[in-house]
Amino acid sequence: MSPVIEEHARARLITDGPLTRPVPVDLRYDPADERRTVHIGLPDGTDWAFGRDLLERGLRTPIERGAVRVWPCGRTQLIVELHSTDGVEVFQFEIRTLVRFLARTHRTQSPGVSPDAGGGPRPPSRTTRPGRSAEQGATEERGAQPARG
């Protein structure tokens, strides 16, 4: 069994104001999940899960599935827009970060397993990760790095 792939990355939170701000995000992929699900963990403890193919296709062309919209922004950026009952969050990622992460997810794929083994596209989902509080997220946003382990 292949290990879960996790990558700590930075995205830029796009706001209505004139400035964007960097935020830490966690990218996660479990090769044992037949649905090929990618997770984006946000500093406030929210976890967004959706099909890996959504990110892959969004690198080339705008795509929308449920509450998630993804599109390239120039040659080096990717926009991920997340809709929930709390509102809309828009993040800008460096494409190279996501390409590196996605390449790692493909290297874990078992031989003989077709990319479509998980069936059709997975609808996006949003959950709150246990053990994370809004205060922890605010601390991370100010630049403090939490202990990981």
Question: What is the structure's pLDDT at 18?
Answer: 83
**Who contacts 114 (Cβ-Cβ below 8 Å, separation ≥6)?**
none
- Element counts in the chain: helices (H) and strands (E): 3, 9
DSSP three-state, residue 100 = helix
Looking at the chain, the whole-number percentage of residues with pLDDT higher than 70 is 74
> Residue 123 — very low, low, confident or very high, per pLDDT cuts 50/70/90?
low
Question: What is the structure's pLDDT at 134?
Answer: 43
Apex 90 CA angle, 16 and 20, nearest 5 = 50
Quickly name the fold that domain 5-109+124-129 has: Transcriptional Co-activator pc4; Chain A (2.30.31)
Residue carrying structure tokens 């479509």:
116
Q: Tell me the pLDDT tens digit for each residue of 1-13.
A: 678 999 999 999 9
> Residue 20 — very low, low, confident or very high, per pLDDT cuts 50/70/90?
confident
The structural domains of the chain, with segments of one domain joined by +, span: 5-109+124-129
Mean pLDDT on 83-108: 93
DSSP three-state, residue 76 = coil
Backbone angles phi, psi at 78, to 5 degrees: -130, 135
